[in-house]
Amino acid sequence: MTGATRPGALRAEDCLPFGATGAASCVLNDPALNPLRIIEVRSVSWSEISEALPQVTLGNQNAFLGRRPGIAQPVLICDNAESDAEGDAMERAVHAAGLTKRYGDFVAVKGIDFDVPFGICFGILGPNGAGKTTTIRMITCRFPPDGGTLHVLGLDVRTHGRRIKERFGLVPQENNLDEDLSLLENLELYGRYFGMAGKEARRKAVALLEFMQLAEKAREPVKALSGGMKRRAMIARALINDPELLILDEPTTGLDPQARVLLWDRLRDLKDRGVTLLLTTHYMDEAERLCDELVIMHEGAIIDRDTPRRLVDRHVGRWAAEIELTAAPDPKAVAAQLPSSLRRWELVGRILHLFADDQSVLAEAVQRFPHTAQHIRPANLEDVFLVRTGREITE
Look up the pTM and report it: 0.76
CB atoms inside a 10 Å sphere around CB 87:
17
- pLDDT tens string 227-281: 899 999 999 999 999 999 999 999 988 888 988 999 999 999 999 999 999 999 9
User: Where is the domain boundary, 29, 53, 82?
Assistant: 82
Q: Read off the pLDDT of each residue in 64-79 and give the average, rounded to a whole number.
A: 42
CA 27, CA 16: separation in Å to the nearest integer? 7
- pLDDT tens string 282-336: 999 999 999 999 999 999 999 999 999 999 999 999 999 999 999 888 899 999 9
Domain residue limits at 53: 12-82
Q: Provide the pLDDT for residue 327.
A: 86
In this structure, what DSSP letter does residue 345 have?
E
Measured between alpha carbons, how far apart are the two ends of the chain, in Å? 49
CA 31, 32, 34, 37: dihedral to nearest 10 degrees?
Answer: -140
CA proximity to 284, closest of 318, 315, 256, 250 = 250
CA 333, CA 331: separation in Å to the nearest integer? 5
CATH number where 366 lies? 3.30.70.920
CA 336, CA 368: separation in Å to the nearest integer? 11
Number of domains, the chain: 2
In a domain, 349, yes or no: yes
In a domain, 111, yes or no: no
Q: Provide the pLDDT for residue 393.
A: 59
CA proximity to 94, closest of 244, 239, 267, 199 = 244
Q: Read off the pLDDT of each residue in 374-389 and give the average, rounded to a whole number.
A: 96
- pLDDT tens string 166-207: 999 999 988 899 999 999 999 999 999 899 998 999 999 999
CA 258, CA 168: separation in Å to the nearest integer? 27
In a domain, 249, yes or no: no
In a domain, 26, yes or no: yes
User: Where is the domain boundary, 23, 53, 82?
Assistant: 82
- pLDDT tens string 109-141: 999 999 999 999 999 999 999 999 999 999 999
Q: Say whether pLDDT at 78 is over 50.
A: no
In a domain, 323, yes or no: yes
Q: Provide the pLDDT for residue 256.
A: 87
User: Where is the domain boundary, 82, 97, 120?
Assistant: 82
In a domain, 19, yes or no: yes
- pLDDT tens string 159-177: 999 999 999 999 998 889 9
